[in-house]
Amino acid sequence: MVFRVTGAVDETGASTVGYAEQIRGLFEDLMTKARGICGGAWESGASEVFLAAQGKWDAEAGNLTNAQTEIGQLTRMAAENAFAADRKGAGLFPM
């Protein structure tokens, strides 16, 4: 089995981290728009339910983006480790 690691692996990790940041931004924009629709002075039972749902949404969205960021970071680390192992292996065969 041939195992090939290229710069594309590191790029994939970097892209994954970047997409997580974009998702965070989209979630923040969505909540800003929702608050704008509801108004700052909105107070009622529905407001309380919305705020509770928003808290749950924020937690789940945070979990999603944190997981995606971690996956991207681990992908980049795997690429770095593979390149380091390759350099170490190449050092075993002096020219």
Break the chain into its structural domains and give their ranges: 7-81
Give residue 41's pLDDT.
67
Q: 40-93 pLDDT, tens per residue?
A: 666 777 778 878 888 898 899 899 999 999 999 999 999 999 999 988 998 899
Please report, as a single letter, which amino acid is at residue 36: G
Which has more pLDDT, 66 or 9?
A: 66
Single out the residue of 5, 2, 4 nearest to residue 75, CA to CA: 5
CA distance 38 to 20: 27
Q: What is the pTM of this model?
A: 0.70
* Residues 6 or more apart in contact with residue 62 via CB below 8 angstroms: none
Name the packing angle between helices 7-38 and 45-90 (round to 10°): 170
Q: Where does the pLDDT of residue 22 fall: very low under 50, low under 70, confident under 90, or very high at 90 and above?
A: very high
Q: What's domain 7-81's superfamily in CATH?
A: ESAT-6-like (1.10.287.1060)
